[in-house]
Structure 1
Amino acid sequence: MTQREQPREVVIYGASGFSMALRDMIENGLTPQKWRVVAHIDDFAGEDAGKTLAGVQVIGFQVWQDRYRDHPCAIAIGDCGARRKLANKITDAGGELLTAYPKGGTVSPHIQVADGTIIGQPAYIGPFTAFGLNVLQMPMSVVGHDVVIGDYCTLCSSTSIAGYVVLEDEVFLGAGAVVMNGRPGSPLRIGRGAVIAAGAVITKSVPPGAKMMGNPARPIRELAARRRPPV
């Protein structure tokens, strides 16, 4: 391997099963850049505790500050609000967030990707789509053309977003969720902080903070009320 091809060293904030999934995705599923995870941060591990995760050291936050602050950091948390807090913690301490996404193939060259966003492969991303800060898109997801993904959104595996859609900040799409298309000048919009359950099908705009499930998707409280037996 030539010097040019040497993997760049990175750190993952988290030391659980999901952090291992993210590690595998970063090390083995992103091209053309190569990455190598050299440490996991665990706030509950203690400093220099000697713990490892699949052969990689687990460190406390202070050790990261002292030794690895110049390494880009990926945050292994699906919860949008929690990821925002840890991202701020990293940047406030002078760290850098990892930005990693595939280029070429089924990913259009006509996209915009902000700092801290990670997009797993395989993925389809259509043209004129923009990703905000620290978005996490897991593998096997589809994002159509003319889509805006807000800051700190999470797109779980096998999600599918059609064209002319806007996700405001901190929207969570569960595995297999489908968002139908909007129209030019009138996008389908999912409001800030909305949570879309796994397998839900969104056919119309969703207000901020809503929790939706089903096909077609409805508010969880509405579905629960319908299923509640009469008194």
Structure 2
Amino acid sequence: MCKEKIVLLGGGGHCASVIDSILEKDIYSEIVVLDNDNSLFLPGGIHVIGNDEELPLLYQEGFHHAFITVGSIGDCSVRKKLFQKIEDIGFFIPNIIDKSATVSKWSNLGRGIYVGKMAVINSKVEIDNCAIINTGAILEHDCKIGEFVHVSTGAKLCGGVEVGCETHVGAGTVIKEYTKVGAHCLIGAGSVVIKSVDNHFMQYGCPAHKSSYKIQTKIEDRNEI
């Protein structure tokens, strides 16, 4: 069976993690990266070959899979724009799951999701498109994760937690069972969340408390990679 070729969009640290997961599973015949910085050092001798303006040509040349490797901490506008662009061109948008991760066969995953090393996705978890479930994160049974959410390294979401779209859950955060975290929120690293969080708010601390800062949704029109 002939292996597919894949385009990765964004060449930073998150891209390096995704490349490592891809190379360990040996699932693609060729990997290229698009980014504005063509001097980036990436694992496996993989090179930046241009920016996102190359996408239509690459599709014509047989690169029919594409994946967003721009990271995010609270601002998902670039990831959203690129996801829409590759979807419009017709690319297949796979999930990239590290071989060390555990994903229940009873979970339900959308498209363009990254599941990092040693992450655990338990039974009946639902994850929407283009989410990042980073290294060592745990999503217990019945969690619901919105699109473009980033559950950062070592975060632990107890059973039945719901996280709204475009929210960032910081590294090492613990969220109490059946707690609801709204959309466009930022939960600070190491927080312990025991009460629901409204849309567009930042929370941090142990137990987590609401910041007076309210997060505004950004709209970006410029090319980013």
Fold-level similarity (TM above 0.5): yes
Task: Give the TM-score, by structure 2 length.
Answer: 0.81
* Aligned partner of 2:133 among 102, 118, 137: 137
Following TM superposition, by how much is the alpha carbon of 1:14 offset from its aligned partner in structure 2, in angstroms?
0.8
* Aligned partner of 1:204 among 195, 201, 217: 195
- Residue of structure 2 in register with 1:165 after alignment: 161
CA displacement 1:149-198 (0-9 Å, x = unmatched): 1111111111110001111111111111111112xxxxx11111111111
| Corresponding residue SS for 1:25 | helix
Following TM superposition, by how much is the alpha carbon of 1:60 offset from its aligned partner in structure 2, in angstroms?
2.3
Distance 1:144 1:138, change over 3 A: same
Q: Sequence identity, in percent?
A: 24
Compare relative contact order (CA 8 Å, sep 6+) and give the higher one, 1 or 2. 2
2:64 paired with 1:71: yes
- Residue of structure 2 in register with 1:228 after alignment: none
Q: How does 1:145-184 map to 2 (within 5 A)?
A: 145-182=141-178
2:47 paired with 1:57: yes
CA displacement 1:112-139 (0-9 Å, x = unmatched): 0111112122121211111111111112
Q: How does 1:70-89 map to 2 (within 5 A)?
A: 70-79=63-72, 80-89=76-85
Q: Which amino acid aligns with 2:151?
A: L
**CA distance in structure 1 between the partners assigned to 2:78 and 2:54 by the alignment:** 21
Q: Which amino acid aligns with 2:19?
A: R
Contact 2:21 2:99 in 1 (8 A): no
**CA distance in structure 2 between the partners assigned to 1:24 and 1:102 by the alignment:** 8
- Residue of structure 2 in register with 1:213 after alignment: 204
Following TM superposition, by how much is the alpha carbon of 1:103 offset from its aligned partner in structure 2, in angstroms?
7.9
CA displacement 1:85-127 (0-9 Å, x = unmatched): 2111221232232322368984321100111112122121211
**CA distance in structure 1 between the partners assigned to 2:3 and 2:148 by the alignment:** 26
**CA distance in structure 2 between the partners assigned to 1:141 and 1:219 by the alignment:** 23
Larger deviation: 123-132 or 70-79?
Answer: 70-79
Contact 1:27 1:36 in 2 (8 A): no
CA displacement 1:57-98 (0-9 Å, x = unmatched): 312223332024643222122323321121112212322323
**CA distance in structure 1 between the partners assigned to 2:78 and 2:40 by the alignment:** 24
Aligned residues: 205
CA displacement 1:173-229 (0-9 Å, x = unmatched): 1111111112xxxxx11111111111111111100011111111112338xxxxxxx
Q: Which runs of 5+ in 2 are unaligned?
A: 214-225
| Corresponding residue SS for 1:221 | strand
**CA distance in structure 1 between the partners assigned to 2:180 and 2:204 by the alignment:** 16
